[in-house]
């Protein structure tokens, strides 16, 4: 009986000395860095989203070459049959004999034949009073000239007078803007038909321009009239 009471007393004393879970024993402190409850995890780092930077393709510098023709003529070319393509071609007068035997796509591929430019450009660097000038097509130089029948019997031509010192300017351009011209009603003038390709197999053309002085109203308004 005495032994039983002694065992019970020792068990009770051991229970009073066992610390509760998460708490230090009496007279002791918790180890550094540890506490009775776990700290919440730190918030996740903000997610950075990548931003795509679109870089525009730089256009190649415009290459402008000077030429001079002894007897320049502007040919209003008329194709013999369908699709009745038309084109304005600049060449030396003696070159017009090629119109009898050479198709349009071969004419524009020849180094001595150019197309009347459709663009509108700043003058070349070094041009005096450059802000007063533009490079425009040569057709305006033929406006006051009488047209004559070309050697092929279909086309017409007009001589042009290039302003002193007689320089013309050539720019290599895509043929896309030039391939859809066809003859207008009663074969007068021209119109655009996007269903027609008058320059099959031709990727680029040599477009020719003249240096034209703008009047004061054009410079003030910022518009260039061709």
Domain ranges of the chain: 64-220
Which stretches of the chain score pLDDT less than 50?
A: 1-10, 12-17, 33, 221-226
Contact at 8 Å (CB) between 121 and 210? no
The per-residue pLDDT for 35 is 53
Residue 99, classed as helix, strand or coil, is helix
Cis before 83? omega within 30: yes
What's the pTM value of the predicted model, to 2 decimals?
A: 0.70
Cis before 165? omega within 30: yes
Contacts of 70 (CB under 8 A, 6+ apart): 92
The per-residue pLDDT for 3 is 43
CA-to-CA separations, 173 to 61, 83, 169, 225, in angstroms, rounded? 12, 23, 13, 21
Q: What is the C-alpha separation between 50 and 16, in angstroms, rounded? A: 61
How many C-beta atoms surround the C-beta of residue 80 within 10 A? Answer: 12
From the centroid of its chain, how far is CA 197?
22
Over residues 120-144, the pLDDT tens digits come to: 999 988 888 888 999 999 998 998 8
């Amino acid at each position: 009986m005495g032994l039983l009471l002694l065992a019970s007393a020792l068990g009770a004393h051991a229970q009073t000395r066992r610390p509760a879970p998460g708490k230090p024993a009496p007279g002791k402190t918790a180890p550094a860095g540890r506490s009775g409850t776990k700290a919440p995890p730190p918030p996740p780092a903000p997610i950075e989203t990548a931003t795509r930077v679109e870089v525009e393709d730089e256009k190649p510098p415009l290459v402008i070459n000077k030429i001079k023709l002894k007897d320049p003529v502007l040919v209003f070319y008329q194709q013999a049959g369908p699709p009745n393509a038309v084109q304005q071609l600049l060449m030396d007068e003696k070159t017009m004999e090629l119109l009898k035997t050479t198709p349009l796509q071969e004419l524009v591929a020849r180094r001595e034949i150019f197309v009347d430019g459709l663009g509108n450009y700043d003058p070349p660097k070094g041009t005096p009073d450059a802000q007063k000038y533009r490079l425009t097509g040569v057709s305006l130089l033929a406006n006051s000239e009488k047209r004559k029948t070309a050697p092929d019997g279909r086309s017409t031509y007009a001589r042009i007078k290039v302003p002193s010192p007689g320089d013309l300017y050539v720019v290599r351009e895509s043929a896309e803007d030039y391939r859809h011209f066809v003859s207008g009603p009663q074969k007068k003038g021209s119109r655009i038909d996007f269903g027609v390709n008058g320059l099959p197999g031709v990727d680029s053309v040599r477009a020719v321009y003249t240096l034209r002085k703008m009047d004061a109203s054009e410079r003030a308004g910022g518009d260039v009239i061709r």
